[in-house]
Amino acid sequence: MSSLPKPLHHFGTLLRFCIVGLTLALYVGNAHAQSVKENYTKLQLMIPMRDGVKLYTAVYIPKGNSQKYPIMMNRTPYSVGPYTAEGFPGRLGPSLLFQQAGYIFAYQDVRGKFMSEGKFINMRPEKELHSDATEVDEATDTYDTIEYLINHVPNNNGKVGMWGISYPGFYAACGTIHSHPALKAVSPQAPIGDWFIADDFHHRGVLFLMDAFSFLGSFGQERPVPSANWAPSLTPGYPDAYSFYLGMGALKNANEKYYKHKVAFWDEMMEHDTYDDYWKARNLLPNLKGSHAAVLTVGGFFDAEDLHGALKVYRAIEKQNPGIENSIVMGPWPHGGWSSGPRDSYGDIHFGSNTGNFYRENIEFPFFESHLKGVSTTPVAEASIFFTGSNTWKQFSSWPPKETQKAAYFLGNNRSLSTMRPGGSSTPDVFVSDPANPVPYDNVKQGGRRSEYMIDDQSFATKRPDVLSYMTPVLEKDTTLVGSIQADIFLASTGTDTDLVVKLIDVYPNDGPDAQTNPAGKPMAGHEMLVRAEIMRTKFRKSFSKPTPLTPGAVEEVKFELQDVAHTFKRGHKIMVQVQGSWFPLGDRNPGKFMKISDANDSDFQSVTNSIYHTDKYPSSIQVGILPK
């Protein structure tokens, strides 16, 4: 990410990827900015909202042509600078195709960020009904902005498109809520959906420590007056994340050592440690109603931040807006990875084609051209899905596909994995979850969080005694898994709370064509590719709103979703499932006690022993969807 402006480098991996869609567009070099300046006229507007607050908006209009253009709009909390009449970005739009084709582009600082007035609220709650004509949320701010643009920006054709990646994807999704009639096409890309259940900062009740701490160190600071500058980060630099966060100790030490209560949202997260009204109000999904626009939701199967949001936003819009054009694209990408580059590989895995180019040229650009300019194009499929393993694009009339067949893989004796339900009794498999020696989320010494962990080799974890690995025999035929994966684990613990991590892994053969080399020339023999993984805090096994302790020694069922996959396990490979008790420092450590973890002291953390059962009475499994050949 060398093209990022220097002040942004120390904010951490999460921030760099959150702003990829906009930052790559705005800072790619002076030569490109000069080209934009030569071909576009810039307007700097302060657009009034219904409550009187004004939002800074930079508008770029093609020069030298009297024809009318549609408006492409992006709303963001990550800055739409440069903030001078002479300052121009290096690129406009979702891709260079839009800039070349001729569009008006409008970039807006959302309420309370950078040069816009008002107070910023994280995941501002959306409202179905407003108490009066001046009550605002992100949907009303979008509506008011569009109304102003179509009436005040010259040479527009009265049609508006909207897109955004990550947080801007959330704002794009908000634009669909009781949308403005001029808004014809919207593409929420890696949108945040629900910040407690499985997007960004929490997964199944577990705080995603590394992401939250590094991101909020700058982004989370209060802004007393409009400013073009980022706040200096409160987060120190560190070469090894595992050692740094282990050394930080109990969660409360983040404030005592670093934040000093200067980050209000961090304090709110520490206070609201269950799925209470605070988090429910910030769940965007139930509010995605009243869309009059066509919607194209985009996500990456290896998105470390908002895979959940993309999948759930698509489903919520589909359910709550019958009759509109609603589509989803899921590719083999990290967070925002579809917005630039060929994307013919990621991490150790080849994809066999330029998946990024294919998406931008054959799906995204035609979608907007059709709805905003009336260009005749092939209609976008309901679901355009890239399957890793087989490295193929497939199109479906729904996602998951209607032809999906349900199946289960059961954990068994001798660390086996089989579609046969276990019979009789057996000795449970036991591991110790030690908060002083948690299982690392990857095998690379690095300061920021590595996004590649979503697709990394898991052989480092297989070797640990606190990781249980279950594996099928060598597959005699290709097996394609689609849709959601559900973990259903029967557990007995010596603690009153513990965490469970379940991973789905593709084990490569030791010989044959699949065991050759990765993009960097590394041999792939015996490679253990992570396909999907998720963590669950067991005190939330019955309810995220009302946690309940485990009864030490009692066998309890823990069920949770691992999110969707589209992956073919090739003939000659094996399917592996791993179970472990920590995923550090991705997730915060569990003290092994039923308590409010943000109040825990260093002395509260204790080792617990966890037993995983696989009997006829307690059949631990993962439940999957299989796509018939």
Backbone φ/ψ region at 74: left (φ over 0), alpha (ψ -120 to 50), beta: beta
Please check whether residues 32 and 164 belong to one and the same domain: yes
Please check whether residues 292 and 425 belong to one and the same domain: no
What's the pLDDT score for residue 30? 65
Q: Are 300 and 335 in contact (CB under 8 A)?
A: yes
* pLDDT digit string, tens, across residues 395-421: 999 999 999 999 999 999 999 999 999
The pLDDT of residue 378 is above 70: yes
Asked whether residue 243 is assigned to any structural domain, the reply reads no
What's the pLDDT score for residue 64? 84
What's the pLDDT score for residue 301? 98
Asked whether residue 369 is assigned to any structural domain, the reply reads no
Q: How far apart are the C-alpha atoms of 380 and 358, rounded to whole Å?
A: 13
Asked whether residue 346 is assigned to any structural domain, the reply reads no
Q: How far apart are the C-alpha atoms of 340 and 327, rounded to whole Å?
A: 21
Give me the domain span that covers residue 490.
Answer: 405-626
Q: How far apart are the C-alpha atoms of 300 and 310, rounded to whole Å?
A: 8
pTM of the model: 0.94
At 31, the pLDDT band (50, 70, 90 cuts) reads low
Across 449-475, average pLDDT? 97
Q: Are 567 and 332 in contact (CB under 8 A)?
A: no
* pLDDT digit string, tens, across residues 2-29: 322 223 333 344 444 444 344 433 444 5
Evaluated on CA atoms 453, 459, 463, 469, the torsion sign reads: positive
What's the pLDDT score for residue 421? 94
Please check whether residues 416 and 551 belong to one and the same domain: yes
The pLDDT of residue 429 is above 50: yes
Number of domains the chain is built from: 2
* pLDDT digit string, tens, across residues 598-625: 999 999 999 999 999 999 999 999 999 9
Helix axes 307-320, 167-175, angle to 10 degrees: 0
Asked whether residue 428 is assigned to any structural domain, the reply reads yes
Asked whether residue 546 is assigned to any structural domain, the reply reads yes
Across 237-241, average pLDDT? 94
User: Which CATH number covers residue 120?
Assistant: 3.40.50.1820
* pLDDT digit string, tens, across residues 166-193: 999 999 999 999 999 999 999 999 999 9
Here the tokens at position 81 are: 């600078």
What's the pLDDT score for residue 29? 52
* pLDDT digit string, tens, across residues 315-340: 999 999 999 999 999 999 999 999 99
Please check whether residues 309 and 167 belong to one and the same domain: yes
For 428, phi then psi, to 5°, come to: -65, 155
* DSSP category for residue 231: P
* pLDDT digit string, tens, across residues 509-550: 999 888 888 888 889 999 999 999 999 999 999 999 999 999
* DSSP category for residue 604: G
* pLDDT digit string, tens, across residues 191-219: 999 999 999 999 999 999 999 999 999 99
Please identify, among 298, 327, 356, the residue that sits at the C-terminal boundary of a domain: 327
Strands (E) across 180-273 are located at: 183-189, 202-203, 206-207
Asked whether residue 236 is assigned to any structural domain, the reply reads no
Evaluated on CA atoms 605, 209, 7, 237, the torsion sign reads: positive
What's the pLDDT score for residue 88? 95
Between the CA atoms of 96, 100, 103 and 105, what dihedral angle is there, to the nearest 10 degrees? 40
* pLDDT digit string, tens, across residues 572-594: 999 999 999 999 999 999 999 99
Please check whether residues 304 and 415 belong to one and the same domain: no
Average pLDDT, the chain: 93
Please check whether residues 171 and 28 belong to one and the same domain: yes
The pLDDT of residue 287 is above 50: yes
Across 250-279, average pLDDT? 97
Please check whether residues 322 and 443 belong to one and the same domain: no
Helix, strand, coil percentages, rounded to 5, for the chain = 25, 30, 45
The SS3 of residue 44 is strand
The vertex-188 CA angle with 385 and 274, nearest 5°, equals: 100
Q: How far apart are the C-alpha atoms of 332 and 472, rounded to whole Å?
A: 25
The pLDDT of residue 133 is above 60: yes
Please identify, among 295, 327, 359, the residue that sits at the C-terminal boundary of a domain: 327
Asked whether residue 274 is assigned to any structural domain, the reply reads no
Please check whether residues 299 and 422 belong to one and the same domain: no
Asked whether residue 386 is assigned to any structural domain, the reply reads no
For 159, phi then psi, to 5°, come to: -120, 140
* DSSP category for residue 572: T
Please identify, among 327, 362, 392, the residue that sits at the C-terminal boundary of a domain: 327
Distance of CA 570 to CAs 5, 197, 482, 506, 513, Å? 43, 32, 14, 9, 11
Which position has the higher pLDDT, 448 or 550? 550
User: Which CATH number covers residue 411?
Assistant: 2.60.120.260
Helix axes 138-152, 167-175, angle to 10 degrees: 70
Per DSSP, what are the bridge partners of residue 484?
564
* pLDDT digit string, tens, across residues 86-118: 999 999 999 999 999 999 999 999 999 999 999
